[in-house]
Amino acid sequence: MPQVSAKKKCCKDRPRCKACPVVLMRLSKMGYAEQLSTGKKPKYDVEKNIPKKAMVLARQR
Q: What is the pLDDT of residue 39?
A: 87
Q: What is the pLDDT of residues 1-57, one digit of tens each?
A: 789 999 998 888 899 999 999 999 999 999 999 999 988 899 999 999 999 999 999
- The number of distinct structural domains making up the chain is 1
Q: Which residue type sits at 36?
A: L
Total residues belonging to the chain: 61
40 vs 9: CA distance, rounded Å: 8
Q: Other CB atoms closer than 10 Å to residue 25's CB: what's the count?
A: 16
Q: How many CA atoms lie within 13 A of 25 on its CB side?
A: 13
| Residue range(s) defining the domain that contains residue 22 | 3-59
